[in-house]
Chain A
């Protein structure tokens, strides 16, 4: 300890403290601050770049996912549209068919009705004509028959016989 105290030089201590203080100040101002600043900036830069790359990657994924989603949606929409069109077509065809059926039925009915009424008219006409003809014939026959007395007698006899049979 005594040797250490003997060795201790106040002058050297003074110069060391002064010079080191000065060195510390100068280096602080002109070296360490810019050096640490530059290193810090560089590290921040690298960190930011990495973050940006990560962000870009994420965005890219998002974009891909979005486009895929859009594509899917478009596909689904197309499908839906096609389906709808098909349905509409089917419906139209069905409707047309039904309508045609109905119209056809109606026409057939009308035709049948017309035919029926025509038939009725014709039958009636034929009946009238047959009646007329029968009356005419009967008139002619009766005329003929009645010209002969015997024959008239016979007729009345026949007729009476018929009634008896009835």
Chain B
């Protein structure tokens, strides 16, 4: 009841804001900036959502029109007929070409392209750049955040482990907060979905992936706003690991189920027409499961960031006593929801991974029952 009420308010507010936006857009155009504010915000958001080659905290424009970035550069590593390592400060945030060993590289829409000395970018008819993209293994902002999160987790959980050893198995400090979560993952995610006998070998993966996604989601909500889990490469990697573990640990029963889903419940001649449909579905399901995992996490985090930043952007578009506080209030409410979503997405990813592991490691007891029935 409360939820629907809240949703109603959001919808009404969004509609009202749409009107205001339309009105203020025209004013901005009249102001006569080079780019209107709306486009600038849009570009800023889409830039923020992507990975970047330098760690910028914020930027501002000086009175003389010069963009000033506050942050630090990160190492760029390219494989272009040999490994090329240089600092991203050479790009000056995409404003200049980087010249390394006689090759010229240009940062264009957060991607590095090989160009000629003038930095020309060639386009095809769909307005995609056709320049050569060297293999980019740079330590980007997202990689830095992964390392930071990894170190944080290592420090947190090894110290928790040490506190257990020291205090005779009783958690202290932060452990009192994290232990119930660890127990929850064990007792309410792993045990019911995988089964009492086999859940133990999956526990380290489930725990790592849960805290990894959760911490990165939360980092995404800090003012740094680094969108790691909303990056498709990250979610592909995470889902791929679930996929590999599912199929590597799959039992004979699991594989038999893929190619013979109905088992002994039907004679072979009855199966043929059904299996023309069933087997492709089962095999497709193998890939759809991890694919849904990666899209779900990616889309949720991406959408959360877009909505949040759009609402923050609206404050600057409105510049009015009514609209700006309203969009601030909305942004605040949405960020609270995002805190929940951050936890929820980590939970869902872990839960579904556990569910898939459970399917794969299951030994079908009902098959044996059928055999027993036949024998009687």
Contacts and interface: CB of A to CB of B under 8 A. Distances in A.
Interface of A: 4, 6-17, 19-20, 22-24, 26-28, 30-36, 38-39, 41-42, 45
B137 A14 contact: yes
A19 B150 contact: yes
16 contacts: A4-B232, A8-B236, A11-B135, A11-B138, A12-B142, A13-B236, A20-B212, A22-B150, A24-B208, A28-B208, A31-B153, A34-B165, A35-B160, A35-B164, A35-B182, A36-B186
A29 to B, nearest CB: 9
Contacts of A12: 51, 140, 142-143, 231, 233-234
Given A16-B238, A36-B203, A39-B179, 15 more contacts: A4-B298, A9-B231, A13-B236, A17-B240, A19-B150, A20-B146, A20-B212, A27-B153, A27-B157, A31-B157, A34-B164, A36-B182, A36-B200, A38-B164, A39-B183
Please list the 10 inter-chain residue pairs (A to B) with the smallest Cβ-Cβ separation, ordered nearest first: A31-B157, A38-B164, A34-B161, A42-B169, A12-B233, A28-B204, A13-B233, A16-B237, A32-B204, A11-B136
Interface in B136-157: 136-140, 142-143, 146-147, 150, 153-154, 157
B205 interface: yes
B17 interface: no
B165 to A, nearest CB: 7
Nearest to A45: B169
Contacts of A9: 51, 111, 136, 140, 231, 233
Interface residues of B, number: 48
Contacts of A31: 153-154, 157-158, 160-161
A99 to B, nearest CB: 84
A41 B169 CA distance: 8
A4 B233 CA distance: 9
Contacts, number: 126
B236 to A, nearest CB: 6
A8 B205 CA distance: 24
Given A11-B136, A15-B143, A19-B146, A30 B158 contact: yes
B207 interface: yes
A36 B161 CA distance: 9
B246 interface: no
Interface in B9-63: 50-51
Contacts of B182: 35-36, 39
Given A19-B146, A23-B208, A31-B160, A8 B153 contact: no
A14 B66 CA distance: 36
B326 interface: no
Contacts of B203: 32, 36
A26 B154 contact: yes
Nearest to A31: B157
